[in-house]
Amino acid sequence: MNNKKYHPEQLDYRYRDFLVSGRIAASKWAWAKDEDHHVNTKTVFKDYFNHIAYVTYGAEISYLINDNFSVSLNIDAQQYERTKGDTQMNAPGGYEEFDTGAGIEHYSWMSGLSVEYRF
């Protein structure tokens, strides 16, 4: 297959009609925010996080049926390191801010089966 797009952060290995790909990306500058509504107390918490260490990685194996058609199986994961952030609380009794009053951490993975036709 001559029309495959290559990415510098992606590693590819082809053996006959099989293509195995791996990828990884990371950053120390990810950010996140959330908004948490406590309906019974009519309180809203807003949290802000900066400079979160983030990494994503994955692998894929494809069977190349011909130059235009392939079937692939993949798995990908994401991870955000545990980080403290600032909180704003808006309640009927008033507004308050808390430095490093919130925390965040995330890990997830996803798998997929795909059929691709290139034209």
- Tokens at 70, concatenated: 């392939």
Q: How many CB atoms lie within 10 A of CB 27?
A: 12
Structurally, how many domains does the chain consist of? Answer: 1
Claim: this prediction has a pTM higher than 0.85: no
Query: For 58-70, what is the mean pLDDT?
Result: 94
Residue 1 has pLDDT above 60, yes or no: no
Q: Is 77 part of a structural domain of the chain?
A: yes
Could you say which DSSP state residue 36 is in? E
Residue 83 has pLDDT above 50, yes or no: yes
Residue 116 has pLDDT above 90, yes or no: yes
Q: Is 104 part of a structural domain of the chain?
A: yes
Q: Is 71 part of a structural domain of the chain?
A: yes
The confidence score (pLDDT) of residue 95 equals 95
The confidence score (pLDDT) of residue 4 equals 52
Q: Are 20 and 59 spatial neighbours (Cβ–Cβ below 8 Å)?
A: yes
The confidence score (pLDDT) of residue 21 equals 94
Residue 2 has pLDDT above 90, yes or no: no
Distance CA 37, CA 26 (A): 31
> Residue 32 sits in which domain range?
10-117
Q: Is 2 part of a structural domain of the chain?
A: no
10 Å CB burial of residue 61 (0-12, 13-18, 19+) is: middle
Q: Is 3 part of a structural domain of the chain?
A: no
